[in-house]
Amino acid sequence: MPRQSFREAILNRRMLICVFTGFTSGLPLYVLIQLVPAWLRVEGVGLAEIGFFALVGFPYTWKFLWSPVMDRYTLPFLGRRRGWMLVTQLALLLSIAALGFIQPSLSIWTVAYLAAAVAFFSASQDIVLDAYRRELLPDLELGLGNAIHVQAYRLAGLVPGSLALILADFLPWHIVFVVVAAFMGVGLLMTLLIQEAIANPTPPKTLREAVVEPFREFVQRNGIAAAALILAFLFLYKLGDNMATALSTPFYVDTGFTLTQIGSIAKFASLVAVIVGGLVGGVMMIRLGINRGLWIFGVVQVVSILGFALLAEVGANPWLLGTVVALEYLGVGLGTAAFTAFIARTTNPVFAATQFALFTALTAVPRTLANAVTGIIVEQVGWTTFFLLCTALAIPGMLLLFKIAPWGADERDG
């Protein structure tokens, strides 16, 4: 199968849509993992409590439970996918804005409940955005399309993780959260302007069919043993990375950086890395294929975690902070791009919503469960040992590549 050139692949409307799906999908997650922890830490909440806040991310883990509903039923406006997009994006705009009007020291459980609502609406939005993107992209464009989606996803982190922190030095928190919530307007605009990826969709005829068939098809297509290995790989590949970045903002605070330094250096240093990573990663995915991308980007991802251990030892050095964060955004961003493309390739477009939700939910399990205890681990062993542990936990996922994505077996990618 002939490969597209970078110019042919990127200069089309599908790639532009991937930019918007990535930004809209990433914004609410980064509110939960960057802005909320920083807000809670500044308000005097302990690290252990902040770590347990990762449990509000359970909807990302269990979203496959209600994805068949979104696959089976079409809302009476905008079409099969766009109707659900509109509802979830409006809910996110309102719930993110509402967070800033709560005082954590007085109503920590209210913060937890509302953060859980944000996670639920975000996970639901991811279900429909992932399904739409799988329906939109032909197989030949999965690598580049998902690379662009992932880089835009990470670029969205600059809003709650950079702009919001800088604003927080000058404005009250409720204004900061309203400003961040307003960026969901990007997703709303996209939803209103795009068309359905499939003109005449054929959704499952019954809810039972929507639940059972995606699982049966996946196992029959791969076999029980291979299916089990794929699921294990999805769980383990990003385990070390997820843990290492779970408390990144509190780590910067504890290292001695000011909020303005974190906003301007730690977050904006990632901007160049995101752009370079998106372009270089896209080209490499076209030329190398998804399998080789998983190998190369996975190694860079493991090495980048060690940068945090170095920063923990050196202390509040602005230049090292910028370097470490840039490496993390470059390496981990590229790894995520290859990983997301692998997930998309593993799904059957006929069952895109439920299979994509199942696979991405499995990848969220370590982020939710392991991250919930990261605060306790750090308080027991310190930041340096913690990051070394994260590096070790990244190795098993790499070893599974020998079975799941052998280096020279990318014929299906073209």
In a domain, 254, yes or no: yes
Which residue range is the domain that position 48 belongs to?
Answer: 6-413
CATH number at residue 249: 1.20.1250.20
**Residue that the structure tokens 């639920």 belong to:** 120
- Number of domains comprising the chain: 1
Instruction: Please state, in angstroms and rounded to a whole number, the distance separating the CA atoms of residues 76 and 93.
Output: 21
Closest CA to 342 of 278, 279, 285: 285
> Encoding tokens for residue 263?
């906003």
Mean pLDDT of the chain: 81
> Encoding tokens for residue 43?
């308000």
In a domain, 1, yes or no: no
Closest CA to 335 of 300, 371, 361, 381: 300
Reported as a single tens digit per residue, the pLDDT across 315-363 is 888 888 888 888 777 776 666 667 877 888 888 777 777 888 888 777 7
In a domain, 276, yes or no: yes
Quickly state the pLDDT bin for 11 (edges 50, 70, 90): low
Reported as a single tens digit per residue, the pLDDT across 154-194 is 788 888 888 888 888 888 888 999 999 999 999 999 999 98
In a domain, 347, yes or no: yes
Reported as a single tens digit per residue, the pLDDT across 272-317 is 776 676 667 666 766 777 788 888 888 887 888 888 889 888 888 8
Whole-prediction pTM value?
Answer: 0.71
In a domain, 114, yes or no: yes
In a domain, 298, yes or no: yes
In a domain, 279, yes or no: yes
CB 309, CB 384: distance < 8 Å: yes
> Encoding tokens for residue 179?
């400003």
Which DSSP letter does residue 103 get? -
What is the pLDDT, as a whole number, of residue 163? 87
**Residue that the structure tokens 């160049």 belong to:** 272
Checking if the pLDDT of 140 tops 80, the result is no
